[in-house]
Structure 1
Amino acid sequence: MLELYQFELSQYSEKVRLILDYKGLEYTKIEVIPGVGQLELFRLSGQRQVPVLKDGETVIADSTEIALYLDRKYPDKPIIPSAPVAKGQSLLIEEWADESIGLKGRTAFIGAFNQNQNFRTVFLPREIPDFVRTLVGSVPNEFLEVLGTGVGFSKDAIKSAQKSLKQDLEALCLILQNRPYLVADHPTIADLAVAGLSMIIKFPSGNYLDIPSELQGKGVPGLADNSAYDPFFEWRDRLYAEFRNQNILPKNPPSGDSPTSIEIE
């Protein structure tokens, strides 16, 4: 059984989950708590980022490397086209999505997180006591903005990310206007990467993620609720409905000798 060491809200983990589901591969999700992950992950992969895939004795880190491995090891329903031009376009879009939608989407998400107290507390683990939820929710937005400035999530950075994402979403709407997928007449790594990485901009409707039901179909204000981008998100959600399995609840993190910090790729 394939084992995916992941973070449920990591869009890079979602990219891998979508590829696994598209290929019809069975896998177990092993949740790694950010900042308190287990030493075993570092022992397995030699690094601290998720996602990490374990296939028997083989361990692969990085979402792109995992995607390429899965296509080599499990060639049914290939996601890398054989035609040179389509292959090049698929790989180029996948790399662009990692750097654009992935990173900018995270920045925009952090901006929404900082500005909305309810949005902030709803993502806390279920076992967190109510008084901690109250404390987290009561942290002033201005204080979080100051903290964010020190780690690259300043107000200007968030504004810039949102502006770039608007251009990206508009471009994707135009590309998909008269075609079923981004490159070919079937999903490729480009489609699955773009769809999975966009999760953090607007969560898909349906039980695809272990998140509160009230967040399904919701996301970053100004992006998720902008009707101009409906064609893209409707395309994305059709892809989900056709290929993505309904949510498989993650298992507890694996046991280890001591915790170590886990970074989200």
Structure 2
Amino acid sequence: MLELHQFELSHYCEKIRLILDYKGLPYRKVEVTPGIGQLDVYRLSGQRQVPVLKDGAEVIADSTAIALYLDQKYPDRPILPADPQQRALCLLMEEWADESIGLNARKMMLWAFSQNPDFRAAALPTNTPSFLKSLVEAVPREALDLLGSGAGFGSDSVRSARRAMEQTLDSLTTLLTDRPYLIAEYPTLADFAVAGLTMYAKFPAGLYLQIPETLKGKGVPGLADNPKYQPFWEWRDRLYREYRQTSIPVGTTPGTTASGPTSINIE
């Protein structure tokens, strides 16, 4: 069976989960513990980032490489158009989504966590003791701003990321007016990249991700709740309803029950 080495709360991993579900491929999720667990990923793939897909003796790292491998190895329900021009546009849009949405949505999500104590508390597991939730909520915003600046997420960077995400959502909303998908009459790699990578702007509601219930359906203020972007979020909700499978506990296979760790690490 396919093994997806992942962080549950990784938007690049979510892109691959969407593709696996669309193709109807059974797979086992292997949750990677940030830090020490990435040593195992390195021994497996020669690098430390997720997602990593293991298919028998084949080990593939990087979400784009995994997507292309899956479409070649498992050609049913293709995610790359046969038409050369549509295929070229699909690959260009997927690359843009990786580099633009992937980076800017992450910055906006980290900004939202730093600005909103309720949002920070919502990201904690539901069984977190109340005193620990209170500590998380009480962390001064100035301290988080200082940490963000040191990590390259200062105010100028955040403003630039917001402008980029607003332009992205404006463009996507316009592109999806009166058409079911971005490139073709069926979903392609471009659709799954955009849907998965916008996860940090707004987490999908429902049983798709193993994250705290209080975080589902929440997102970055001004992006997740702006009425003019509502057509885009409705499009993404439809994509999830039609193709994304509901989540099963980490470390299990369909038809089994077990429990496992859930990572809330944004990497």
**TM-score, scaled to structure 2:** 0.91
Aligned counterpart, 2:180 = 180
Is the Cα–Cα contact under 8 Å of residues 29 and 248 in structure 1 kept in the other structure? Answer: no
Change (3 A) 1:223 1:147: same
Residue by residue over 1:28-65, the C-alpha shift from the partner in whole angstroms, topping out at 9 and shown as x without a partner, is 11111323425321110111111111111111110000
Change (3 A) 1:42 1:130: farther
Alignment of 1:26-175 (within 5 A): 26-125=26-125, 130-175=130-175
Aligned counterpart, 1:256 = none
Partners of 1:217 and 1:129 lie apart in 2 by 23
Moved more, 18-27 or 126-135: 126-135
What RMSD, in angstroms, separates the aligned Cα atoms of the two structures? 1.7
Partners of 2:127 and 2:55 lie apart in 1 by 31
Aligned counterpart, 1:258 = none
Runs of 4+ in 1 over 3 A off after TM superposition: 124-134
Q: Could you tell me how far 1:150 is from its partner in structure 2?
A: 0.9
* Amino acid paired to 2:209: L
Aligned counterpart, 1:21 = 21
Change (3 A) 1:124 1:213: closer
Change (3 A) 1:113 1:263: closer
Residue by residue over 1:70-96, the C-alpha shift from the partner in whole angstroms, topping out at 9 and shown as x without a partner, is 001100000011111000000000000
* Local SS of the residue matching 1:103: helix
Aligned counterpart, 2:230 = 230
Q: Could you tell me how far 1:126 is from its partner in structure 2?
A: 6.2
Alignment of 1:194-209 (within 5 A): 194-209=194-209
* Local SS of the residue matching 1:220: coil
* Local SS of the residue matching 1:221: coil
Aligned counterpart, 2:6 = 6
Q: Could you tell me how far 1:199 is from its partner in structure 2?
A: 1.1
Aligned counterpart, 1:218 = 218
Q: Could you tell me how far 1:136 is from its partner in structure 2?
A: 2.7
* Amino acid paired to 2:178: N
* Amino acid paired to 1:118: D
* Local SS of the residue matching 1:50: coil
Moved more, 47-56 or 151-160: 151-160
* Amino acid paired to 1:184: A
Kindly tell me the number of residue pairs found equivalent between the two proteins: 256
Is the Cα–Cα contact under 8 Å of residues 11 and 196 in structure 1 kept in the other structure? Answer: yes
Partners of 2:238 and 2:148 lie apart in 1 by 35
Q: Could you tell me how far 1:133 is from its partner in structure 2?
A: 3.7
Residue by residue over 1:3-44, the C-alpha shift from the partner in whole angstroms, topping out at 9 and shown as x without a partner, is 111111110000000000010000111111323425321110
* Local SS of the residue matching 2:184: coil
Aligned counterpart, 2:255 = none
Q: Could you tell me how far 1:168 is from its partner in structure 2?
A: 0.5
* Amino acid paired to 1:28: R
* Amino acid paired to 1:138: A
Q: Could you tell me how far 1:161 is from its partner in structure 2?
A: 0.7
Moved more, 136-145 or 69-78: 136-145
Moved more, 196-205 or 220-229: 196-205
**TM-score, scaled to structure 1:** 0.91
Is the Cα–Cα contact under 8 Å of residues 148 and 154 in structure 2 kept in the other structure? Answer: yes
Q: Could you tell me how far 1:131 is from its partner in structure 2?
A: 4.3
Is the Cα–Cα contact under 8 Å of residues 101 and 197 in structure 2 kept in the other structure? Answer: yes
Partners of 1:229 and 1:74 lie apart in 2 by 34
Partners of 1:42 and 1:237 lie apart in 2 by 35
* Local SS of the residue matching 1:202: coil
Residue by residue over 1:148-199, the C-alpha shift from the partner in whole angstroms, topping out at 9 and shown as x without a partner, is 1011111221121111101110100111102111000000000010011111
Partners of 2:53 and 2:172 lie apart in 1 by 29
